[in-house]
Structure 1
Amino acid sequence: MDPLKIMLQLEKVNLHYKPIISADTQLVDGYEVSAYFQENDRMAEPLDWFFEDASIPDDFRLELTHYIYRKSLEVFEEQNQSKNLSIFYDLRLLDSDNGQSLLTLLESAGIKGLDLSKIIIEIKEAHIPERIDDIRKFTTYLKTLGIKLALDVERRNGSLDRLAMLAPNMIKVDAGFLKEDSLPHLFQDVHHSLGMLSRKIGAALLFKGISSYNQLNYAWRNGGQYYQGSYLKQAQTGFVEDDCCQAKLNADFQNFVMFERKKVKAQLDLTNRINETFKTMLPALKPGLPYDEMICSIGKYCSDFVFRVYICNGEGIQLSSNAEKNNLEEWELHQEGRNKNWSWRPYFFENIMRMNVEKKGILSDLYTDIEKTELIRTYSYPISETLYVFLDIPYGYLYEQDGLL
């Protein structure tokens, strides 16, 4: 589509409103505005590309931006809309007029009585320059007007330092990368750091692009306070009922809770089972037994649900070899594991302290074993005040048990 054609026919640019749903109330909390161009009876075409094409002159993009802002603000004012209004602003346009025309427009809307605390200016993290002093001045002034700032993090390896410096009110992340046949827990670390940052700076986490039950579940499990996407509600030319998604979300949330309870129960049952096994097994082992003999005995005792056993001290140093079960279900010793340091593993020392205090074993989260390249869990148990045995549980066993994957 020719950009000049669009600029000459701005009256054919229509606004669509994508609902933003609150996890707290399951009600519509606001709308994100997007622009579409509709010529005659043809299907409306989204204009997102218009703002991404750097070859389009800045004055074109600036004019269309202000047209969208003016029109959306007028609609909200005319309909006395009480919800939040989220509108995108391209930071790359700041060089054109230092954002003055946008600020003038917003200040004018405030003078007319529009509640500026309901306005959310959305910017993209990818558009933030290395030197962000001018951006910080711009966003800081927006906040003095009561306007909220949303930061869309399209790159999952974006700079957390720059996000923290801008201190947005909302961080937007895309759930669209998660395919329907994916296992959501494999990607938990992807947004863990963003979730931690959002809590520290008091920002809400919004998951956009939710097009499936699986993606909604991922957003729910990863602390999403707001949801957006076609699975809930498509963008509309008008506003929707506040409770349009409430029944659907309530039903899905109930399923999520039931599934999580089922998983927790399965993990507790397995943990208790292994704890009871160790209470019976350890007293039967001879005192002073060499570590390698001990892990072979433990492996044989737990052979139906374990494929690798080893012993570490409280500093993370492996004191034994690896006892591993081969394809013939026989246990073998692999010396190369001895003296390795596992203290770098996440939660290692936290788990050591928990075992010392609670005097019982701990079952890990799912993770991918480097050597076998398959999902496993590790069970760790304190066999003395300074020694800890680790049992790796294979994917095959976890798959057969309900709730362990």
Structure 2
Amino acid sequence: MDALDVMGKKDKIFPYFQPIVSADKQQIIGYEVLGRIRTEEGIKSLGFFFEDSSIPEEYILEIDTHIRNAAIDYFQKRESDQSLFLNCNARHLLYDHGETITNSLEDYATSGISYGKIVIEVSGYDVEDDQLQKLQHILTYYKSLGVQVAISHAGSTMSNIEKIAFLNPNIIKVDLTNLKDKGMPPEYREVLYALSMLGRKIGATLLFEGIEGIGQLKYAWENGGRYYQGYYLGRPGPEFLSVDKCKPLLTKEFHHFIEHERKRLLSLYTLSQNFNHHLQQQVKRTKHNDWNVIVSEAAQSLGEACFRGYICDEDGRQVSANYYRNGEGIWESQPEYEGDNWSWRPYFLENIVRMRHEQVGILSDLYSDIETNELIRTYSYPINETHYLFLDIPYLYLYERDDY
């Protein structure tokens, strides 16, 4: 089916609605509007039509407006308090400076549809800086009306995060489709963390789409997702669903997630307490004042729980060598690290202050190690008022104990 086939069959084109569910209410709070066409082979998606850059913009805007208006007509008849998420490619918005959408929004407002019930969902915003500036002006105007703006982040890389920040959306949409229910690549954790931090800084909400199974739902819940979308929760269809359709499922799964998280946090707390007690005894037994001896004895005393140790002063300057267990299980000294300063690391000085006042060790969040690129945690322990021991814990040790 080509563009002319689509243009000649507008009477066969209509909207489908895919539900978007909130974590707080556990209800369907809105629907993404998707284009469909009825053919002799059955109902087909119009994704190919909107994604084809060779199709004239006028055709795209005409069909897009037809679908959008049909969706609004249905929405108005339902007298729904939910929101409609309307897809807009940046290229199409820039073509006519957003006027087609602006005119539609004004028509909807005149017919009684609140601007606050409309979400403009923008994709394809990887454009040149001058075009990005124009796009930002268009979206700022929509937001001034009360319309919400969502920006889609697809893939598993850091690309376009700066552009998302510049566009300053109300919602950041993250696609989990390619992750399935099999493990999460370490680099994607970093992307999710960056998007989560960006959302907090600009006041944007995270919406996870492409949720096709329990693993993806759990990951979205763990990573601060307020809104969820995907086949696991509801497939696109011609009609709205009961607002509470997903509530039994989410109530059950959230309970499982919470129980698992409680056990995990308790396990981490116990691990931290055990390390603290062990190191208290270890430091007391140490007969040396040599920082290298202290760190080597402490690291080795933890066995498989530690693969690297070092000591820093209160200003972040490393006063010992690294004491490192290599891949063959042999401990070796790395004196070249002595004198390095680690005060630039996030939370370093905050943790120093906490340890000084609380006189207990601190277990870090999970993060990617600079050298190995593997996920680890670091346990920090106050040796005295001015010097602190840092012991890196490998992911395998944490995973085997459900402490990751």
Q: Secondary structure of the residue that 1:346 maps to in structure 2?
A: coil
Aligned pair count reads 402
Cα distance change, pair 341–177 in 1 and its aligned pair in 2 (3 A): farther
1:33–1:87 CA contact under 8 A, matched in 2: yes
Q: Distance in 1 between matches of 2:107 and 2:371?
A: 63
Q: Secondary structure of the residue that 1:89 maps to in structure 2?
A: strand
1:291 is aligned to 291
Q: Secondary structure of the residue that 1:150 maps to in structure 2?
A: strand
Q: Secondary structure of the residue that 2:129 maps to in structure 1?
A: coil
1:77 is aligned to 76
1:221 is aligned to 222
Q: Distance in 2 between matches of 1:111 and 1:366?
A: 51
Shift of 1:183: 3.7
Shift of 1:108: 2.0
* 91-100 or 257-266, which deviates more: 91-100
Amino-acid identity (%): 39
Cα deviation digits, residues 149-199 of structure 1 (max 9, x gap): 222223653445543443322221112243422147763321223223323
Q: Distance in 2 between matches of 1:48 and 1:387?
A: 60
* 102-111 or 257-266, which deviates more: 102-111
Shift of 1:248: 0.8
1:390 is aligned to 390
* 369-378 or 168-177, which deviates more: 369-378
Q: Distance in 2 between matches of 1:86 and 1:118?
A: 9
Gaps of 5+ in 1: none
Q: Distance in 1 between matches of 2:329 and 2:162?
A: 50
Corresponding letter in the other structure for 1:254? H
Shift of 1:29: 0.4
Q: Distance in 1 between matches of 2:384 and 2:253?
A: 45
1:188–1:222 CA contact under 8 A, matched in 2: no
Shift of 1:57: 0.9
Q: Secondary structure of the residue that 2:30 maps to in structure 1?
A: strand
2:317 is aligned to 317
Cα deviation digits, residues 275-326 of structure 1 (max 9, x gap): 111222222222x521222223223433353233221222322222233346
Cα distance change, pair 327–27 in 1 and its aligned pair in 2 (3 A): closer
Shift of 1:404: 1.1
* 185-194 or 351-360, which deviates more: 185-194
Q: Secondary structure of the residue that 1:157 maps to in structure 2?
A: coil
Q: Distance in 1 between matches of 2:380 and 2:11?
A: 67
Shift of 1:68: 0.9
1:230 is aligned to 231
Gaps of 5+ in 2: none
CA RMSD of aligned residues (A): 2.4
Cα deviation digits, residues 190-247 of structure 1 (max 9, x gap): 1223223323333222111111212111211221111101111111111111111111
2:172–2:206 CA contact under 8 A, matched in 1: yes
Cα distance change, pair 144–344 in 1 and its aligned pair in 2 (3 A): closer
* 225-234 or 340-349, which deviates more: 340-349
Q: Secondary structure of the residue that 1:342 maps to in structure 2?
A: coil
Corresponding letter in the other structure for 1:74? D
2:180–2:212 CA contact under 8 A, matched in 1: no
Q: Secondary structure of the residue that 1:393 maps to in structure 2?
A: strand
1:128–1:135 CA contact under 8 A, matched in 2: no
* 1:92-241 → structure 2 map (5 Å cutoff): 92-124=91-123, 126=125, 129-131=128-130, 132-154=132-154, 156-183=157-184, 187-241=188-242
Q: Distance in 2 between matches of 1:82 and 1:373?
A: 47
Q: Distance in 2 between matches of 1:18 and 1:144?
A: 27
TM-score for both structures, normalised by structure 2: 0.91
